[in-house]
Each structure stands twice: as C-alpha cells, then as structure tokens.
Structure 1
Amino acid sequence: MSGRGVAVTGIGVVAPGGVGRDAFWAAITAGRTATRRITFFDPAGFRCQIAAEADFDPAAHGLTPREIRRMDRGAQFAVVAAREAIADSGLATGDLVPEHTAVTVGNAVGCTMGLEHEYTVVSDSGRSWIVDHEYAVPHMYDYFAPSSLAREVAWASGAEGPTSVVSSGCTSGIDALGYAAGLIQEGAADIVIAGSTDAPISPITVACFDAIKATSVTNDRPAEACRPFDAERNGLVLGEGSAMFVLESTVAARRRGAHVYCEIAGYATRANGFHMTGLKPDGREMAEAIRVAMDQARLGPDDIDYVNAHGSGTKQNDRHETAAVKAALGNRAYDVPMSGIKSMVGHSLGAIGAIEIAACALAIENDVVPPTANLHTSDPECDLDYVPLTAREHRTDAVLSVGSGFGGFQSAIVVAAPGEVRA
C-alpha cells in the first residue's frame, strides 16, 4: 500500500471458544473446536442442527442493562471487542481526538437475531399476518439499519470522524480493514477503530443455508463437523463473533511508544462476475487479489510465511482457494504453511475475516501458526501444507489472509511484522 504505514496497536476479540483476545488465541492454538448443537432455538426441524456459539454474557463484559436492551447481539459483540482493542492499544477513550477518530465495521447480515426475535414477538410466532408494532422494542428501527452497528462502536469510543459499514458478504471483515487502512493513509483519520461483527445464528439463517445444502450435517459429532481440506468434509459450520482493531499510522504509533502487533501492508479485492454462490475452479480472481496485495506490500511469494485460508469446509471453496494460492505463489505454495481456523470457530459470515486477521496478527506476535482442526485425510485435490490438528512453531513475519464471499467477492490482505514492509 502506498503512503503512510498502517499499524495495528490494539486487538479485541469475541469468538466461539474464547471471549477476549487471549482466550481466543489459547483456544485456536490448542486446536479446540467450539461447535455444538444450537442452543439459541430448537434446531430439531433443520437439516443442520449445529453451530459455533460464543459463550458471551454482555453484562459480565461491561454492558449496561440499557445497552443490552438497545443493541442486537452483533452490536454487543462489536462494542465489547472495540473496548478491548482500545484498552489494549494503551489509548483511553479520552485520549482520542473525536473528529480525527473514525470507525469502520464490516458486516454481512445486519441485526439478524434482533430482527427475527422481534418479528416473532409482533407476529405472535408468525400466526398474525398483520402485526402490531407496539409489541416491539423501542429500538427496533436500529435492527433494520446495519449502520447502527458502526454507530454503537462510534458512541462507545467517542469517535466523530468518518463512520461506515462495509457489507460485502463473507469478505466484509477483510474489506473493512482494507478500507480503514486507506483512511489512515490518505489522512482522513488519525485513529480508526475497525473490524467486523456478525451474530447470524437464527432460524432464518440456518434455513437459508439448509436450502443450498452448504452446511455440515455431522449433527451427531459437532466437534468434528467442520473439516476444511479433509476428504470427508461435508460443509461449513455457522459461527458468530467480532474482532475489532485500533489502527494508526506507524509513525504515530512509534512516537507514542505503542506496541505494534503488525502493519497492514497490502490489500486487494476482486469479483468473479460468475455466480451468486458458485466458484470457478481455477481461482483466478482470488489469485489476482493475492498478487495485487503482495505487490502493494512490496513482498514476493518467498516472503510469505503463513497463509490464513478461507477454509470454509466445502469442496468447492477448498479446491478453489488451493488453486488460487498455487497460481499466486507458484512453487512457494507447497512450502508455506496454510491453515483454516473456521474448523474451530465456525464461519461467522461478515465477522470471520476480521477474526482471522486477529489470528494472523497473533501468529506474527507469537511465531506460532494455528492448526486446521479435524484434518485427518487430505482431499487429493488439496495438496498443500494445511497444518493438520496441531499448532506449529514457525517464524512468521508476513502473513497472507484470503476470503471468498457469496456474490463472487474475492479479497486478500497482507499483514507483516513491524519493519518487514519495504519502503
């Protein structure tokens, strides 16, 4: 990326298996899967009855009764993660100059849980075609407007600069970080609170994924259900969560003595113009996004130490991105470790890209590559090093993370240890 370096100085995470940055990292490096039978509603009538749910108590994480009443679960995730990121950065909210502080939140499906719950109430569980709005919560309008997610983070952080929602399906998290980095580079903001959030585990979402048969039906063994790159995989597992970051210029971060996890070195996105949910097997558009992101970072294939895979656990996606990584990295693709954390935390749609970037930043911080859980027998068409089952100590200075989303979106981002980015 041209212009000023963009540093990540704070990380906050709410994820299945671990609420909080440290708990999240401990869970994924231990290879623990968070998938279980859905508890938010009775899933008995659904094809897929499992999901990766976060054990999240909003009151225990500092939200007031008013905030809990007002916010959809996805907004609660984002606010809690943003507060952790700000505290981690060493900045207090009072240190932020409001008009120079921006907020960017990625999201795919809006306030799904809030909307579905309120529709159930006002329609008497669907029995009333003509509904009485007076039975709804006073803040129901917020559930219709995904912009409320960014607004809540802005209110919580005291930000009065550019505030936006990036919604590009399952690449929203990567795209939000890429857009936020651009705000720092062009001087539109000194600080950006950026990341993504989604809480999609509701009957309507499960029904939609049932209809296209994209989700796993390993209902009797939830912990083994999501198996990216495994020959026996049978679909993805829905998840939920949020990851938020504090971004600032590298120069400003060093000036104030901040700890820098990594720099956002390159970002690109492409669309395949092909199919709503289908993917071309050659991975050409993802490969192009990878090449552009590496070019912006001034890094070549040999400089990439780890690839964080989209790794959804569907045959179409796993083969598509395997081909894309081969096309973009050449022979280096066979040597660089590549793993998929959705095997442990599920696919949280718009949130997952940011959660995966948190994993990348922590991989750089700790020189450890998280594993791909449940990978016992590789698909012969997926023949790269997917770090099966066990985390690996590995010098990790530059990381590539990729995402693929419904609608044909293909995004790539490169994050690198401080000093790795070439001037």
Structure 2
Amino acid sequence: ISLFDATGFRSRIAAECDFDPIASGLTEQEVARMDRAAQFAVVSTAEALADAGLEPGRVAPERIGVSVGTAVGCTMALEDAYVDVSDRGARWEVDATRAADLPHLYRALVPSSIAAEVAWTAGAEAAACAVSTGCTSGLDAVGQGAHLVAEGAADIVIAGATDAPISPITVACFDTIKATSINNTDPAHASRPFDRDRDGFVLGEGAAMLVLEDAEHARRRGAHIYCEIVGYAQRSNAYHMTGLKPDGLDMAEAIRVALGRAGLRPEDVDYINAHGSGTKQNDRHETAAFKASLGRRAWQVPVSSIKSMIGHSLGAIGALEAAACALAIEHDVVPPTANLHHPDPDLDLDYVPHQARRHVNDVVLSVGSGFGGFQTAMLLARGAAA
C-alpha cells in the first residue's frame, strides 16, 4: 500500500490503480471536487461513451440513464476530511471553522453524488440511481441498468461501478474480521483463489462503466456489440453479515433463476466468471453453488477468477468482471486464475490455473457474493450481430 502509511496494519498490500486524474482528462477543479472513486467513474464513463461512438447530441438527454454501483462510496474524501477537522481524531467535537473550508464534503457523504457526476458527464437526464449492495454492487448496477432499458425508461444507460477503498478505515475494517491476505512479503502472489494456501482477498480499487442499450437500437446506429445481457437474478441468504452457508444454495437459486429468465439450460454455459475472492468459505460456497445449479455441467465448464490478478475492488469488481466477460466472449478466451499452485483438494472443478485458454464462449455466467448475504448471477451471451 502506497496511498497511505500502512505500518501497523495486519494487511499492508493492495491492488492500487496507476491513475493520474489530470492526465486522464479531469480538470483541477474536478479533481478537487471529486473523491477518487468518483474520478474513476467519470473517466471510465468518458472512455465508454467514446468506445460506443456516442457523441453529444446523438441521443436525446432525457433518453439517457445512469446506474452506478459502489460499496463504500467516497470513503477516501470523507475520511480525509474527518481526520482534518478532528485533529486526527483527537477532538470529539470537530472544528467547524475547518469544516467550512470543505465545500464538497457533502458530496463525499452521499454515494449518489457519484451517479450525479456520471450523469453530468454523459448529459443524462433520464433515471439516475446509485446501487449499494456490498460486493455485488457492480453486477446489480448493470442489472438495474439493463432493466431500465428493458422497461423503456431509457434508450441508453451508462451502467457500472466504482470503488476506491484503499484507506485506513477500510483496511482496518477488513483487518478486524481477518478477511484480507497477510502475505505482505509477496503481494504479487497473495491473491490465490481456490488454492490450498489462500489466506484472504487482496483489496483493490477501480471502475468499469458499460453502455447498455436495446439490441435493435444498437444495430440501427451501427454500434459495436460486445455481448448481450440475457439473464440476471439476485438472492439474499438472510443468514449472517459475513458468513456463508457451505451448501451454496442461495447462489445456486440466483443462477437457476437467471438461467430461467434467459431461457437457457446448464449445458449452454461455456464459462463461469467466479466471485473467487480467495477466502476459504467463499471458494467452497460458490463451488457448491455451481454443482447445485448446473449439475454435471459444473465439472465440464471452465471456472476462473480475475481477482487473482486485479484484486477485489469491492462494489466495483462486478462491473469490471462484466467487462472482462464481454471481452472473453468477443475474443473467445478464458482468463486464468493466477497463483493457483496448490489446488485445494476439497475443490474439484476446472479453475483454469496460470494460463489463459482459447475457448468458444457463446454464453458466460458471472456471479457475485457480498457481505450481508447478497448473491447475484448474470448471464451474458454473444449478440446476433456481435
């Protein structure tokens, strides 16, 4: 960790983004106004709009919507402000005169400010919403965006997620519950989903924003179609804030419902993007879920976790994984699970160790599991004109 002095913390490693907001196109005023998470979202939005060929004026503003997910919102700005006005926590009553010098503090308090920033960037005047369901926020925001398009509330929806959680308070929270890896001497190999010696996830950061639209609308304007969202479902286990039932039936039910909504069968699934956080309970939970929902197909389909390479960026990761799944479909490749050197004998699926694999991916299943019991499944498929 280089974003703050992590001396004394249990876990002192993280997957930090090499990010220069000015070089990425933001003004000094925007940098001062926005938390790092909002900066990620705005820059990603601009890149997504450019990639989609959506210049200003091509779509009426009232037909453009926004759906942004985040687990911890503007944590860095909020914590920095509190540290300032409380003399690093020494003052019980904060210094109101210093608070007056923080005109953008309210933006840091409410996660919806990120959705507002994205809406301003995109010129979006249809529905704009913020989704916060822990580590499934990214998938859920994309699912909500797809719903806005399907119900006719918008022709275009900018959907995705962002998080910049590498701050003392976030690291301390995960230290307390011992969820993060303590492989501090070898950070490059610390994220080891499905490995016998895994010891927790590596905290990450980042954002991904996707342009969603009806398939016919995309074809009419000559858009490049990466894939189609064909199925989506959420479930909750109503069980424990951080614990998971080992049978995985909650996630399995989300997968079954998503398959049903897509009109697909287990044998149609070509690749599974696992949540794959690198905690023992999660890896066992979702392996059981794949078996319960897909039957024998679970042993035939490749499963991998990109968190092994980019860490776990909390709410953002589901959107990043959706983008990775779209590229896996377009390029017919399965990304690997890095650092899987000693397979857990209790986990017996094909976790694609070390090397990416050429593989035809017509249908991809992506899943997410979040603290609080949130379980999400999404199916993405090759578009007819992709």
TM-score, reference length from structure 2: 0.98
State which of 332, 341, 344 in structure 1 corresponds to 2:306: 341
| 1:98 aligned residue | 61
State which of 41, 45, 54 in structure 1 corresponds to 2:8: 45
Q: Give the partner amino acid of 1:159.
A: A
Q: Give the partner amino acid of 1:103.
A: V
State which of 98, 108, 124 in structure 2 corresponds to 1:159: 124
Distance apart, 1:420 and its partner CA: 9.7
Distance apart, 1:381 and its partner CA: 1.3
Query: Is the 8 Å Cα contact of residues 16 and 204 (structure 2) preserved in structure 1?
Result: yes
Identity of aligned pairs, percent? 67
1:346-357 → structure 2 map (5 Å cutoff): 346-357=311-322
Per-residue CA deviation, residues 95-132 of structure 1 (Å, 9 max, x unaligned), is: 23111110000011111000011111111222222212
Q: 1:112 to 1:413 in 2, by over 3 A?
A: same
| 2:384 aligned residue | 419
| 1:313 aligned residue | 278
Per-residue CA deviation, residues 148-197 of structure 1 (Å, 9 max, x unaligned), is: 00000000110011000011110001111111111111101110000000
Q: Is 1:265 matched up with 2:251?
A: no
Could you tell me how far apart the structure 2 residues matched to 1:281 and 1:129 are? 43
Query: Is the 8 Å Cα contact of residues 228 and 311 (structure 1) preserved in structure 2?
Result: yes
Per-residue CA deviation, residues 372-411 of structure 1 (Å, 9 max, x unaligned), is: 0100111111110011011111111110000000110000
| 1:31 aligned residue | none
Query: Is the 8 Å Cα contact of residues 173 and 350 (structure 1) preserved in structure 2?
Result: yes
State which of 197, 205, 211 in structure 1 corresponds to 2:176: 211
Query: Is the 8 Å Cα contact of residues 398 and 420 (structure 1) preserved in structure 2?
Result: no
Q: Is 1:59 matched up with 2:22?
A: yes
Higher RCO structure, 1 or 2 (CA under 8 Å, sep 6+)? 1
| 1:127 aligned residue | 90
SS of corresponding position for 2:25 = coil
Could you tell me how far apart the structure 1 residues matched to 2:385 and 2:347 are? 30
Q: Is 1:138 matched up with 2:113?
A: no
List runs of 5+ in structure 1 lacking aligned partners.
Answer: 1-37
Query: Is the 8 Å Cα contact of residues 68 and 114 (structure 2) preserved in structure 1?
Result: yes
Query: Is the 8 Å Cα contact of residues 225 and 385 (structure 2) preserved in structure 1?
Result: no
State which of 26, 38, 45 in structure 2 corresponds to 1:82: 45
Query: Is the 8 Å Cα contact of residues 85 and 95 (structure 2) preserved in structure 1?
Result: yes
SS of corresponding position for 1:95 = coil
SS of corresponding position for 1:399 = strand
Could you tell me how far apart the structure 1 residues matched to 2:199 and 2:106 are? 38
List runs of 5+ in structure 2 lacking aligned partners.
Answer: none
Distance apart, 1:304 and its partner CA: 0.6
Could you tell me how far apart the structure 1 residues matched to 2:94 and 2:359 are? 57
RMSD between superposed Cα atoms in Å: 1.1
1:287-306 → structure 2 map (5 Å cutoff): 287-306=252-271
Query: Is the 8 Å Cα contact of residues 219 and 385 (structure 2) preserved in structure 1?
Result: no
Stretches (4+) displaced over 6 A: none
Q: Give the partner amino acid of 1:374.
A: N
TM-score, reference length from structure 1: 0.90
| 1:201 aligned residue | 166
Q: Give the partner amino acid of 1:287.
A: A
